[in-house]
Structure 1
Amino acid sequence: MGNKVVIFTEDQFENYQDCTFFTRKEILRVHKKFREMSPDLVPKSMTNNEPVTIKVPLDKTEKLPELRENPFRQRICQVFSRDGKGNLTFEDFLDLLSVFSEQAPRDIKVFYAFKIYDFDEDQHIGPQDLEQGLRLLTRNELTPEEVTQVCEKVIEESDVDGDGKLSFMEFEHVITRAPDFLSTFHIRI
């Protein structure tokens, strides 16, 4: 009855719907976007282990219109990639877009925002993490003194336990007071 290509098995679809905030139709759009990044690498059908074995390199993912202008694009890809280097499998890419979707709840977005800002991955956002984030946000337009001053002010105002760095709970407390957080932490597919 036709030449319809089966992109995913029924089990894969069910798992992806259970583990993301996407409908079946949105999952197909994510696959199309993933395939467009590297059509020579990504097959039309991913019914075996292709969703976890085929990786699109970071340099191709960074060029996506949804990420291209984001100063954190490289870090975002690193956080969501299984290899930690930013090379994304389909399932990594699906997770990334799911977390950044409008349907994802605030607590999931906060969790991943924390991971993105925790550059050294020590489970805290310290002065070096803040400096690195600030440099990306301002595209290195601040003087070293201004960067230090801003980072010290953030720690001073947000570090409740006085240890010189932000725990997840301290970060979450700051983010919940930021009314624009949800509107800036999403990508449309």
Structure 2
Amino acid sequence: MGNKLVTFTDQQLEDYQDCTFFTRKEILRVFKRFREVRPDLVPKQMRKDDAVNIKIPLEDCIEKLLELRENPFKMRICEVFSRDGKGNLSFEDFLDLLSVFSEQAPRDIKVYYAFCIYDFDSDQHIGPEDIDQALLLLTRNTQELTPEDRQQIVEKVMEEADVDGDGKLSYMEFEHVITRAPDFLSTFHIRI
């Protein structure tokens, strides 16, 4: 009767609730999914620093998480949310990722992280090379688009979205484009 395993303290759960868009029950469900990826690595009961220090390698995340497995941006998503920048995810990284992709996350947070994901070189702008990289991922590096086709698409995107004409998209320009895309919110989420 008194043998119930406690994964997190009440204070930890309260802290996670404060910084995510999840309820306690959802946080525990996220932990269960995190642990299922590498049960040999992740203990059933998290000690104080385990949620930050125990990391699931990128390869395991992109192979074993159904939500990421088919996503062409899976590696970039993991890189953006991992504190190490290499895609290895701690529980807190994983919780942040799923929180941002949850239906409860507000549009402005989703837009910010979408910008980060598309900013492949992390220079705080989305340039022609970033757009080309996104096209390659979206077409899964097939020969669907020739280099000339991709260049034409990149030029058209820049022509339409680069309001100040500096050859790259600022966060504000990206946000303006996204606000005109009604399907954005429906494609930028993961169910837990």
- Which TM-score applies when normalising by structure 1? 0.99
Write the distance in 1 (CA, Å) between the matches of 2:7 and 2:102: 22
Counterpart residue number, 2:41: 41
Write the distance in 2 (CA, Å) between the matches of 1:53 and 1:4: 25
Runs of 4+ aligned structure 1 residues displaced above 3 Å come to none
Uncovered stretches (5+) of structure 1, i.e. residues with no partner: none
Q: CA deviation at 1:47?
A: 3.3
Counterpart residue number, 1:4: 4
User: Is 1:116 paired with 2:117?
Assistant: yes
**Partner of residue 170 from structure 2, selected from 167, 179, 184:** 167
Write the distance in 2 (CA, Å) between the matches of 1:81 and 1:14: 22
Counterpart residue number, 1:103: 104
Percent identical across equivalent pairs? 77
Comparing 60-69 with 77-86, which one deviates more in the overlay? 60-69
Aligned 1:33-112 pairs, distance under 5 A = 33-63=33-63, 64-112=65-113
Amino acid at match of 2:182: P
Write the distance in 1 (CA, Å) between the matches of 2:109 and 2:47: 28
SS at structure 1 position matched to 2:136? helix
Counterpart residue number, 2:28: 28
Uncovered stretches (5+) of structure 2, i.e. residues with no partner: none
User: Is 1:177 paired with 2:175?
Assistant: no
Is the contact between residue 31 and residue 90 of structure 1 (CA under 8 Å) also seen in structure 2?
Answer: yes
Aligned length in residues: 189
Counterpart residue number, 2:148: 145
Write the distance in 1 (CA, Å) between the matches of 2:161 and 2:139: 21
Deviation per residue, 1:57-76 (Å, 9 max, x gap):
00111021111100000000
Counterpart residue number, 2:157: 154
Write the distance in 2 (CA, Å) between the matches of 1:94 and 1:73: 16
Comparing 61-70 with 117-126, which one deviates more in the overlay? 61-70
Deviation per residue, 1:36-89 (Å, 9 max, x gap):
000000000113110000000001110211111000000000000000000000
SS at structure 1 position matched to 2:95? helix
Is the contact between residue 6 and residue 47 of structure 1 (CA under 8 Å) also seen in structure 2?
Answer: no
- Which TM-score applies when normalising by structure 2? 0.97
Write the distance in 2 (CA, Å) between the matches of 1:174 and 1:61: 30
